Structure 1
Amino acid sequence: MQATRPDSRQVRRPAARLPAGLSLLAALAWLPAAARDQPLPEPVLQALHQARVPADALGAIVLPVGNSLASRLAPRWAHQADRPMQPASTLKLLTSIVALDQIGPNVRGFTELLTRAPQQGDVLAGDLVLRGGADPEFDLPQLWALLLELRQVHGLRMLAGDIVIDRTLFRPSRPEREAAPFDERPEFAYNLVPDALQLNSHLLQIEISSEGAALQARALPPLPGLVFDTSALRPSDRPCAEWLQDWQSPPPADAAEPGVLRIRLQGGFPKACTQRPSLYLLDPLALAERQLRWLWASLGGSWSGQVREAEAPSVPLLTAAQQAAQLPPLRPGAAVVVPGAQRAVSGPGLRLLASHQARPWGELLRTLNKQSSNVYTRLLYLQLGVAAMADNPDLTTRALADRAVRQWLAARRIDAPGLVVDNGSGLSRAERISPRALAQVLLAAHQGRWAPDLLMSLPLAGVDGTLRNRLTAGPAMGQARLKTGLLRDVSALAGYVTDPQGRPWVVVGFLNHPNAVAARPALDALVDWVAGGGLSPASPAPAR
């Protein structure tokens, strides 16, 4: 993507006096560091003052986009830009950019039904394998379609063995067992820790309703073997829209009797109210078993076995290039799904019965960044480590993903002191990056081959995604593409802003403070300042 050429006034403007004796290359390297900790623009200062947030809670930087001499000589602005800070969901930009460059926009997650058991009439005389390939779109309708294919295409009615769930694309296969919940609400979707088989995102939709003091709860759909106990759920006088105010996280489900799980709801729930939340209330294996039984029975099938977890026989995949060159298949765990790739099925009698492919990650980035999906980002981050798993048997997939990110930064000579990447989504109190490092990542992305894919995924100011209700009236409206970030004590914005002369700028701003949420207007003011020409020669100097 070509940057608009700055006008002649800006090219001639002396941004800084260079030390004598510097070569041109040394001078260009010196200029970005010459403008640090500059005065804050007046609208930013006012917004911080109104929120009672000190200026030292802000780390921010504005850099011109482009490789030309004019771009390098263009003005720039920075305030505490080298301080490692909590970036919240703006860290999703780092994961998105590295993934686009390392694995490309056409990689797809997948889910497969496999077997090596013989078929005897309408009976599968053995186990059926359900294998996950980091498919973020594998929900109940997609599972229903795979099972329908077993019934209508393969003519199966009875499953005589077990259903074996294979989550071993990542290491460990159940990452949630090693991860502490982000906060005290582990049952809500933003807290999910994904694995390779994201069946309905491990969520159970329930309907809670009340008529006066009578409270009821049921599963949607009505899965077998689930009982809801509402004896500890009391009616409250809150409005229905505020039902979460008195909600308390349920304890782990109890085995009421063989094959039956009891879910105990507790806290308060408004009178004359109905809510249908999707919650993480059951172990993924227990939930998957009930979902499979309900769907298979609804299709007229029968099954007397159980669900268990194990690693399936290998079904490596060939990339298009390998097919053309007739090279050996990739090692197990190193394969990715490529549109049009053929499957090289291995193992004695192993057969692929049905499969689902997610949309390419290049398309899913729209959901990931515009809606700030933590689950999508964490899945994509783990994909960065999959290719190296076979050669590094002692490292987790997450550790290999972290290594891939750091290698990408090093290859582009982006210095990121203090960088901490926990899960790649920003939903972490440990993750840190400096505004300057993230800005340099955005500059590299803008100059890279996948810039259009990244840009189309970012929320448009005042129009869609997490920015639809922000920056709706100023100069940034409809032209700034920015990723938002919001946690308790953290507010952030990062992305691309165009000024009145059509020149693109990278803008990154982090607020780390107990009142950071209230100070979000300061970040919006910074974006509008840049979009309104704050760095153009005719603009007034920032307030001192």
Structure 2
Amino acid sequence: MLVRFSAFSLSALLLVGCATSAKLDPSSDTSTTTPAATEAVATTGASGNAKAVATESQKRQAMQRVSNDSSETIRQLKKSVAAKPWAKEHLALYLYDLDKQSLLWQYNATSAMRPASVMKLVTTITALELLGSQHRGRLELLISAADAAALQQRPAMAALYKLKQPLILRGIGHSALERRDLFAVHEELTRLGVAAPERVVLDRSWLPKNSPAAAFDENPLSRYNVVPDALLLEQNMQAYQLVSTNTSLQLRVTGLAEPIVADTKNLQLVDEPCAAKQLQSLTWQWSGDITAPKLAVAGRYPKRCTDAGYAQLLPADWSWQASWRAFWPDAKLVKLSPNAPQERRYVLSTLVDEPLSVRIRSINKYSDNAQARLLFADLSNVAETGDKHADTELAFGFPAAGAMTPADLQKSASVITQFLQQKRIDTKQLVLENGSGLSRQETLTAALLGKLLQWQWAQPSRFDFIASLPIGGVDGTLRKRFKNQPGAQCAFLKTGTLNNTTALAGYLMPQNRGPLVFVAIVNDEAAATEGVQQLNKLVNQLCQ
């Protein structure tokens, strides 16, 4: 196993002193020390002082070399940036030495820039501080008072009880619901003596499902474009296979037992090359239900083309119904109601999400937009987290469901802004929309992000945060970047990519100097080409 030490880790090790003490003979008498012994002690002391002076001199020389190397590196960086005409106005940089606590270089650092996904760093740092690393979202299983009373009176070995009122599934801040969570619901209901419910209310009132006014880009069905809600199951993504002939279009999709022959009266099957993701340009219209689905497709699609992958194809409620039937195959089609009843409900059970310290790894390492947006929404209820949602009242052996405050994205933006201002970070150029960076409105400055990263470095939660960052040449969105280059295992950086935007932000851990805060954002038509190359060059120069 290769163990790589950075200057930071070595300096930390040097702080651990190895104190030793001489073991004296209790019978000895220091007053009888001979002159020869005294002279020997004096000689040893002089020699030790000389060695100490030499060591201090070596340390000063080493520090001076590092300082000279740093100055030369900065000169090279400035020269490299000056050679790019587009960098004059479209590049922002912030570079800070955490060991020396000094600003090495800033360039357009107070200009408003579109940050793309490095905006997720603002969201996750704020959440770690205000919500705590052990904060968890949850899925509540709620039942009526009558059902709670009946369950309380049910004999232990009696047949499974059939709920008289709908089972309510209420999501509050749960960021990553999967089929295994529905299996957990199935197991929990069985353990509590409840039969498969025939009616279920999906209570999304914490964060209602809202469709965007318009598609963000030309890939509306892709994972990064998922619009989250309070009960987002597997990000509403399904595996699919789409096959066309000269005259027809057939779709296979996870959750539907049989392939669907689509209504193609508004579809043009054309003699064009078959390419990936061509289904993104089609319009999908579903009708019926999961037992008898009907699909009408409009647009253009190549003849004799087969495409497969993952996409948001099914209506959100169909995903729930399909997953539910996987665990209760003999149950009737679950009827889903859009609205939760207003009468008092009781908490049958609660399933919790992974802790925030784990969740932010998906957000930062793999740039999960849906999870970032859910976490941003969760920040609107900073003062109402944990058990503050629930009442203490007990009835029929079950706690009463507490009042729930819906997420408010404008309040989330205010919470983050106030948090930054409390840290004396300038927020004049900060614009927040959803906290993920998947936005054409969100802006910040390189200085804002750099100063926030400086602050985070000094916090107890920094280890959770650093563990969430992609590592150059190792994992996350940097897995294939910086391989066999100086930036490998030196760059702990969040990436950001949008049309005309590329960004890197986080920490650099060079071997020959202390850790650095590094923020670089390019907003230019050349971002995806020259911009990426320039940022890679800067990182590699600093990591040498």
* 1:147-173 Cα deviation digits (max 9, x unpaired): 3443x424444535x311112234xx3
Q: Match for 2:507: what amino acid?
A: Y
Alignment counterpart, residue 192 of structure 1, candidates 226, 251, 256: 226
Give me the whole-angstrom Cα distance separating, in 2, the residues matched to 1:54 and 1:125.
Answer: 66
Q: Which shifted more, 357-366 or 255-264?
A: 255-264
Unmatched runs of 5 consecutive residues or more in structure 1: 16-36, 314-346, 533-544
Alignment counterpart, residue 283 of structure 2, candidates 250, 271, 275: 250
What is the DSSP-based 3-state SS (H/G/I as helix, E as strand, rest coil) of the residue aligned with 1:63? strand
Deviation at 1:126, TM superposition (A): 1.6
Give me the whole-angstrom Cα distance separating, in 2, the residues matched to 1:470 and 1:530.
Answer: 16
Structure with more helix by fraction: 2
Contact 1:493/1:508 (<8 A) preserved: yes
Q: Which residue of 2 aligns with 1:183?
A: 217
* 1:191-212 Cα deviation digits (max 9, x unpaired): 1221211122233443213467
Give me the whole-angstrom Cα distance separating, in 1, the residues matched to 2:200 and 2:341.
Answer: 12
Query: For residues 243 and 499 of structure 1, do their structure 2 counterparts lie closer, same or farther at Cα, with a shift above 3 Å needed?
Result: closer
Query: For residues 225 and 275 of structure 1, do their structure 2 counterparts lie closer, same or farther at Cα, with a shift above 3 Å needed?
Result: closer
Deviation at 1:459, TM superposition (A): 0.7
Superposed, which structure 2 residues align to 1:191-340 within 5 Å?
191-210=225-244, 215-222=249-256, 228-230=262-264, 232=267, 234=269, 238=273, 242-245=275-278, 247-254=280-287, 261-264=294-297, 266-269=299-302, 271=304, 273-282=306-315, 284=316, 286-288=317-319, 290-291=321-322, 294-295=325-326, 297-298=328-329, 300-302=330-332, 305-310=335-340
Q: Which residue of 2 aligns with 1:77?
A: 105
Q: Which has the larger radius of gyration?
A: 2
Query: For residues 243 and 269 of structure 1, do their structure 2 counterparts lie closer, same or farther at Cα, with a shift above 3 Å needed?
Result: farther
Alignment counterpart, residue 538 of structure 2, candidates 526, 536, 539: 526
Give me the whole-angstrom Cα distance separating, in 1, the residues matched to 2:295 and 2:459.
Answer: 53
Q: Which residue of 2 aligns with 1:377?
A: 372
Alignment counterpart, residue 114 of structure 1, candidates 136, 142, 147: 142
Contact 1:289/1:306 (<8 A) preserved: no
Query: For residues 477 and 394 of structure 1, do their structure 2 counterparts lie closer, same or farther at Cα, with a shift above 3 Å needed?
Result: closer
Give me the whole-angstrom Cα distance separating, in 2, the residues matched to 1:8 and 1:91.
Answer: 40
Query: For residues 43 and 271 of structure 1, do their structure 2 counterparts lie closer, same or farther at Cα, with a shift above 3 Å needed?
Result: farther
Deviation at 1:414, TM superposition (A): 1.0
* 1:496-522 Cα deviation digits (max 9, x unpaired): 112342311111111001121112110
Give me the whole-angstrom Cα distance separating, in 2, the residues matched to 1:139 and 1:304.
Answer: 18
Deviation at 1:4, TM superposition (A): 4.7
* 1:203-231 Cα deviation digits (max 9, x unpaired): 34432134676531033121699874355
Query: For residues 399 and 145 of structure 1, do their structure 2 counterparts lie closer, same or farther at Cα, with a shift above 3 Å needed?
Result: same
Contact 1:228/1:265 (<8 A) preserved: no
Q: Which residue of 2 aligns with 1:165?
A: 202
Aligned: 1:405 with 2:416: yes
Aligned: 1:365 with 2:360: yes
Taking only aligned residues, the RMSD between alpha carbons, in angstroms, comes to 3.7
Aligned: 1:451 with 2:481: no
Give me the whole-angstrom Cα distance separating, in 2, the residues matched to 1:454 and 1:269.
Answer: 46
Query: For residues 88 and 4 of structure 1, do their structure 2 counterparts lie closer, same or farther at Cα, with a shift above 3 Å needed?
Result: farther
Deviation at 1:413, TM superposition (A): 0.7
Query: For residues 378 and 270 of structure 1, do their structure 2 counterparts lie closer, same or farther at Cα, with a shift above 3 Å needed?
Result: farther
What is the DSSP-based 3-state SS (H/G/I as helix, E as strand, rest coil) of the residue aligned with 2:112? coil
What is the DSSP-based 3-state SS (H/G/I as helix, E as strand, rest coil) of the residue aligned with 2:517? strand
Give me the whole-angstrom Cα distance separating, in 1, the residues matched to 2:116 and 2:62.
Answer: 34
What is the DSSP-based 3-state SS (H/G/I as helix, E as strand, rest coil) of the residue aligned with 2:538? helix
What is the DSSP-based 3-state SS (H/G/I as helix, E as strand, rest coil) of the residue aligned with 1:100? helix
Give me the whole-angstrom Cα distance separating, in 1, the residues matched to 2:124 and 2:445.
Answer: 17
Query: For residues 388 and 149 of structure 1, do their structure 2 counterparts lie closer, same or farther at Cα, with a shift above 3 Å needed?
Result: closer
Give me the whole-angstrom Cα distance separating, in 2, the residues matched to 1:291 and 1:148.
Answer: 17
What is the DSSP-based 3-state SS (H/G/I as helix, E as strand, rest coil) of the residue aligned with 2:283? coil
* 1:259-318 Cα deviation digits (max 9, x unpaired): 855342643247363403221542x3x4256336633641x22367443222677xxxxx
Give me the whole-angstrom Cα distance separating, in 2, the residues matched to 1:225 and 1:246.
Answer: 16
Q: Which residue of 1 aligns with 2:88?
A: 55
Deviation at 1:187, TM superposition (A): 2.5
Percent identity reads 26
Normalised by the size of structure 1, how large is the TM-score? 0.74
